[in-house]
Amino acid sequence: MKWYLDFGHGGKDSGAIGPTNLKESDIALKIGMMVKEKLENAFEKVITTRDNDKYYSLDYRTKKANNENCDYFISIHLNSASNTSAKGCEVWLYDENSKLQTLANNLCNNLATKMNTPNRGVKYSKKLAVLKNSKMPALLIEIDFISNKEIENYLKNDKNLKNISDTISSTLLSFVNKSIVNDGVFYRVCIGSFNNKDNAVNLKNEAISKGFKDTHIYTT
């Protein structure tokens, strides 16, 4: 699969700001880059809007994803509210017919459980630009409320950010029937190279029949 990871805001647009000035753009980038690494370790292809603190327009984000012909668009954000006690995870889809309905539900459930925060559920909007203008199935994750001092403090801890990124990564990979690769050295074995796709498929099926379940075809 080819994933488009969109890390909210950046550069002149910091997004939401916590009570002690923690920026949404910084936390979304940190979490997002860890998610990128986990997906790539599982041999998924990943395209990102940004890999540093730089501003990109909403139009740029969806055009880049569309031009790259990505399979899924995942936008990572932190929420904010005038009610500073508000907290909880929610995921936004374009409408109830989205192909990512199950994934959205799983992200809400898994993040809420891992962070011990309320599950605010899946919500829908036809106005959010990244959901409206992306050609591929898209969702937007609001991890929690950075406007809540307790949550902001939680987000300052690198171990907590890793737990969030691991939860997002494992949920995305599970959606495409893969699993997260443990940290450390990982070895890959290649057993064939073919000009004819049918030959590659036949060898893949033979390997699976012999118990090698984590078997994939890659093009170069």
Instruction: State the DSSP string of 44-100.
Output: -EEEES-SSS----HHHHHHHHHHTT-SEEEEEEEE--SSTT---EEEEESSTT-TT
Indicate whether 138 and 204 sit together in one domain. Answer: no
Q: Determine the pLDDT at residue 159.
A: 98
Indicate whether 114 and 214 sit together in one domain. Answer: no
Indicate whether 112 and 159 sit together in one domain. Answer: yes
| 188: confidence class by pLDDT, cuts 50, 70, 90 | low
Task: Report whether pLDDT(9) > 80.
Answer: yes
| Percent of the residues in the chain that have a pLDDT greater than 70, as a whole number | 95
Task: Report whether pLDDT(219) > 60.
Answer: yes
Beta bridge partners of 138: 73
Q: What is the CATH number of the domain that holds 37?
A: 3.40.630.40
Indicate whether 141 and 59 sit together in one domain. Answer: yes
Residue 105 DSSP one-character state: H
| 185: confidence class by pLDDT, cuts 50, 70, 90 | low
Q: Do the domain assignments include residue 95?
A: yes
Task: Report whether pLDDT(190) > 60.
Answer: yes
pLDDT digits (tens, 9 = 90+) for 77-110: 999 999 999 999 999 999 999 999 999 999 999 9
Report the range of poorest mean pLDDT among 9-18, 33-42, 61-70, 185-194. Answer: 185-194
Q: Determine the pLDDT at residue 220.
A: 59
Q: Do the domain assignments include residue 162?
A: yes
| Percent of the residues in the chain that have a pLDDT greater than 90, as a whole number | 81
Q: Do the domain assignments include residue 140?
A: yes
The structure tokens listed for 39 are: 């997906």
Report the range of poorest mean pLDDT among 15-24, 81-90, 173-182. Answer: 173-182
**To which H or E segment does residue 149 belong?**
helix 149-155
Q: Do the domain assignments include residue 181?
A: no
Indicate whether 49 and 96 sit together in one domain. Answer: yes
Q: Do the domain assignments include residue 158?
A: yes
Q: Which is nearest to 170 in space by CA: 121, 99, 213, 107?
A: 107
Q: Determine the pLDDT at residue 24.
A: 98
pTM of the full structure: 0.84
Q: Do the domain assignments include residue 183?
A: no
Total domains in the fold of the chain: 2
Domain carrying residue 216 = 188-220
Helix then strand count (H, E) for the chain reads: 7, 6
